[in-house]
C-alpha cells in the first residue's frame, strides 16, 4: 500500500473515531461538572448547578 493511502487510512480513522471519542469525553466531563454538588457560604448543597429547567415543566402547548 502506498504511503499516501496508508496516511489517509490512518487519518480517516483518527479523525472520525478520534472525533467521536473526544466529543464523548468532553460531554461526559461537562455532565460530571454540571452534576457536582455546588456548596458555599449561604448555599445549600444541591445536585445540578446548571439552569434548572425542570421546575418550568408545563404540559405540551402544541396540539390541536
Please identify which residue in 36, 41, 49, 50 interacts with another protein, judged by CB under 8 A.
50
Site for another protein in 14-33 (CB under 8 A): 15-17, 19-20, 23-24, 26-27, 30-31
Does 46 bind another protein (CB under 8 A)? Our answer is no
String of DSSP letters for the chain: --HHHHHHHHHHHHHHHHHHHHHHHHHHHHHHHHHSEEEETTEEEEE--S---GGG--------
Distance CA 56, CA 64 (A): 22
Given the rule CB under 8 A, which residues bind another protein?
1-2, 4-9, 11-13, 15-17, 19-20, 23-24, 26-27, 30-31, 34, 50-51, 53-64
Amino acid at each position: 500500500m502506498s504511503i499516501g493511502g496508508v496516511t489517509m487510512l490512518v487519518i480517516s480513522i483518527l479523525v472520525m473515531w478520534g472525533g467521536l471519542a473526544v466529543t464523548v469525553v468532553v460531554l461526559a466531563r461537562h455532565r460530571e461538572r454540571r452534576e457536582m454538588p455546588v456548596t458555599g457560604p449561604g448555599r445549600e448543597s444541591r445536585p445540578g448547578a446548571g439552569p434548572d429547567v425542570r421546575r418550568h415543566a408545563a404540559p405540551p402547548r402544541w396540539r390541536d
